[in-house]
Structure 1
Amino acid sequence: MADSRQTITNRVSFLEQKIPQYASVLGISGLLVLWEIVCRLNIVPPLFLPAPSAILVAAWEMMISGELHQNLFASLYRVGSGYIIGAIFGIVIGLILGFSRWADAIITPIVYSIYPIPKIALLPLIILWLGIGEMPKIAIIALGVFFPVVINTYSGVKNVDPLLIKAAVTFGSNHVNVIRKVILPGSLPMIFAGLKLAAGISLLLLVSAEMIAAQKGIGAMVLHYGNLMITTKLMVGVLLLSILGLLFNRGLQWLERKLLPWK
């Protein structure tokens, strides 16, 4: 019996041990070193896979010329605006759908019927509605962010313990206080799951929209240098997207720790 208890204690300790922060850095650094070695040994021709050192040189040249800043800021404006708009509407509508039976019965089937449609396929129609400019790109990103956020928020509200809601109502809480103090905190884990999923979708739609209807931006830059077969500068855009995705994820994780200290 004592041995089994000690085994259980050891397993719990193993699960609870903290992973050092430098572990992620080691993984990325190891991948970059391996990548550099493969390119230095000419296992893969530089045209198909340029070395990280060559990509850094190309990035520096683009930074000096100002090209990198222009494309990066254009993409950040689009993805930031679209993400914020889609996330706000997604959370608000998701809370309404989860809390109101009438809204759930009327609107939820519409949401689930539109959700499977590839959002980038709607870009020509949105351009027809909103004209040529920044608005169609922001709108398509917001639309792509809206659906995972609204569905996850709706699921989070539905998974809140009904006993907590009944207890709050019993003690005299009105609808606003029930949503603010019971439903919203209880659904936050699912909301953040939707926000993280939407972050990746927003970058995918950003690149697709910029490749189709933009002169500036990371997606337009990747398409341009892909057509010219300048793979070093093409990979600069690809690495920028991976860095943006990592920063998105880390930022949402930090915000989640602040708002959900118990999790």
Structure 2
Amino acid sequence: MKEQQLNESAIQVEKEEFKKRQRRDKLKQLLTISSPIFILLLWELLSRTALIDPRFFPPPTKILATLYQMGLSGELFTHLQVSLLRIFAGFLLGVIPAICIGLLMGMYSPIRHFFSPLIMALMPIPTLAMLPIILIVFGIGEFSKMVTIAISVFFPVAINTAAGVTNIDNIYVDVAKNYGANAKHFFFKIALPGSLPVMLEGIQMGQAIALLTIVAAEMIGANSGIGYVIWMNYKAFLLPEMYVGLVLISFFGYFFSLVIRGLQSKLLPWK
């Protein structure tokens, strides 16, 4: 009888803890959506009452109406398609070699010592500062824009991947050696899964850098894309259209971040 009462008390406590976690989760969700809504409402109010100049800061409702009109014309989707193609192709062009080199740097000390000074010397150089060299080597076509994105993405992914491998607990390395694991097994069974948490953080950083880079690259040397839309409408003083481009970049940055976080939860359920 006493044991049954204890079990019931434990179940009741567990239920209370579950309800508390649910309330905390709902509060977090509320806070997550409340901050952007508050900023948009404040912006709308200040613009409508001319407390901020509506010529430079048009109200969000006007920007959304402009987005709808640009979408109906079809031109916006053309620019969006071009930018997304450049982002995806450039991202893969940078991430795949970055992961391979990062894993090799983490696994083998000679490779790490060979690549480290090159990466540390080239990483501080802004990618856009290298754009003239990229244009000379690869021309002014689409591939040069993809290479620009690839270079900007490469460094954070390679560095994080190498750091992920070097931070793997030595006990896993010792067990692999004791069981006679060869380089292939160590690469796929130890280094790759062991570096995933830090590697995905680098990929998360890389996707944000890719968006920043493509906008800047399209402003400088392109006649299509979201960056081109932002720059041309700014020069024509069509600011609602300019803000449409900014809104799209912001949306895709948030969307890609959610996708990578979802991938992280699938690949790393223990985190």
Cα deviation, residue 166, structure 1: 1.0
8 Å CA contact 1:165, 1:183 repeated in 2: no
Which residue of structure 2 aligns with residue 35 of structure 1? 43
Which residue of structure 1 aligns with residue 217 of structure 2? 209
Which residue of structure 2 aligns with residue 3 of structure 1? none
Which residue of structure 2 aligns with residue 55 of structure 1? 63
Which residue of structure 1 aligns with residue 91 of structure 2? 83
**Can you list the C-alpha shifts for 1:74-115, whole angstroms capped at 9, x where unaligned?**
110111111111111111110011111221121221111111
Does the residue aligned with 2:52 lie in a helix, a strand or coil? coil
Unpaired segments ≥5 residues, structure 2: 1-16
Cα deviation, residue 172, structure 1: 2.1
Distance 1:138 1:181 in 2: 32
Partner amino acid for 2:218? E
Which residue of structure 2 aligns with residue 165 of structure 1? 173
**TM-score of the aligned structures, taking structure 1 as reference length:** 0.91
Does the residue aligned with 1:105 lie in a helix, a strand or coil? helix
Cα deviation, residue 41, structure 1: 1.3
Which residue of structure 1 aligns with residue 162 of structure 2? 154
Distance 1:193 1:261 in 2: 15
Which residue of structure 2 aligns with residue 70 of structure 1? 78
Which residue of structure 1 aligns with residue 146 of structure 2? 138
Query: Which structure has the bigger radius of gyration?
Result: 2
Which residue of structure 2 aligns with residue 254 of structure 1? 262
Aligned-residue CA RMSD in angstroms? Answer: 1.7
* Aligned sequence identity (%): 37
Which stretch has the larger CA shift, 218-227 or 80-89? 80-89
Unpaired segments ≥5 residues, structure 1: 1-9
Cα deviation, residue 30, structure 1: 2.1
8 Å CA contact 2:58, 2:239 repeated in 1: yes
Distance 1:170 1:235 in 2: 60
1:218 aligns with 2:226: yes
Which stretch has the larger CA shift, 168-177 or 22-31? 22-31
**TM-score of the aligned structures, taking structure 2 as reference length:** 0.88
Does the residue aligned with 1:18 lie in a helix, a strand or coil? helix
Does the residue aligned with 2:25 lie in a helix, a strand or coil? coil
Cα deviation, residue 171, structure 1: 1.4
Aligned partner (choices 232, 235, 240) of residue 232 of structure 1: 240
Partner amino acid for 2:176? A
Distance 2:237 2:122 in 1: 38
8 Å CA contact 2:48, 2:54 repeated in 1: no
Which residue of structure 2 aligns with residue 244 of structure 1? 252
Partner amino acid for 2:266? K
Which residue of structure 1 aligns with residue 6 of structure 2? none
